[in-house]
C-alpha cells in the first residue's frame, strides 16, 4: 500500500507505507542502542575517574600520616606520641631543674617478635610506650 493522507482529530495526518514505518522504527531502535552503548561507556569512564579520585585521596591521607610520623623524628605512631605526651604531663619529676621533655632519652629494642619502645627522663623515670605482647603458649596435655 502506498502513502496517503487522512483526517484524524481535525488534523491532516500523512499515513506512511507499512514497510517504510517498520524500517524507520528499526533505524530508531539502532540509534537508541548506539546511544545507550555510548552512555554506558561514559558512565564507566566517570566511575573509573571517581575511583581514581578516591584512591588519590586515600594516598594523600597516607602521605600526610607518614609525614606526621616522620616529623616526630622517630618511628613512633600518633597514638604512642599521645601516650608519651600524657606521661610527660603527669610525670612528677623529683629533679627541680628537670622540665620533663627537655632531657628525654628514647630507647628502641628490636627483638624477633617486635620492637619495644621506652622513654626515660633525666631523673631516671621510665615509660614504656611500645610493648610487645608475648604469644601465649598452650600447655600440652
Helices (H), the chain: 18-71, 78-90
What is the model's pLDDT at position 46?
A: 82
- Residue 36: the pLDDT is 94
Residues of the chain with confidence (pLDDT) below 70: 1, 72-74, 94-102, 134-141
Largest CA distance in the chain: 113
Report how far residue 25's alpha carbon sits from residue 35's, in angstroms, rounded to the nearest whole number.
15
Candidates 82, 126, 75; CA nearest to 105 is: 126
Sort 61 into a burial class: Cβ within 10 Å, 0-12 / 13-18 / 19+.
Answer: exposed
Specify the pLDDT at position 105.
87
pLDDT of residue 13: 86
- The confidence score (pLDDT) of residue 26 equals 93
| Alpha-carbon separation of residue 41 from 52, 93, 128 (angstroms) | 16, 68, 57
pLDDT tens figures, 91-119: 877 665 555 546 788 888 888 888 888 98
Amino acid at each position: 500500500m502506498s502513502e496517503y493522507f487522512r483526517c484524524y482529530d481535525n488534523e491532516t495526518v500523512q499515513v506512511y507505507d507499512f514497510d517504510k514505518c517498520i524500517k524507520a522504527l528499526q533505524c530508531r531502535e539502532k540509534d537508541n542502542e548506539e546511544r545507550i552503548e555510548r552512555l554506558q561507556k561514559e558512565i564507566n569512564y566517570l566511575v573509573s575517574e571517581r575511583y581514581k579520585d578516591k584512591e588519590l585521596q586515600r594516598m594523600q591521607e597516607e602521605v600526610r600520616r607518614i609525614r606526621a610520623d616522620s616529623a616526630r623524628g622517630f618511628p613512633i605512631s600518633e597514638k604512642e606520641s599521645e601516650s608519651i605526651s600524657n606521661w610527660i604531663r603527669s610525670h612528677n619529676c623529683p629533679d627541680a631543674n628537670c622540665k620533663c621533655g627537655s632531657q628525654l632519652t628514647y630507647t628502641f629494642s628490636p627483638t624477633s617478635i617486635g620492637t619495644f619502645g621506652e622513654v626515660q627522663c633525666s631523673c631516671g623515670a621510665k615509660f614504656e610506650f611500645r610493648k610487645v605482647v608475648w604469644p601465649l603458649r598452650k600447655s600440652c596435655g
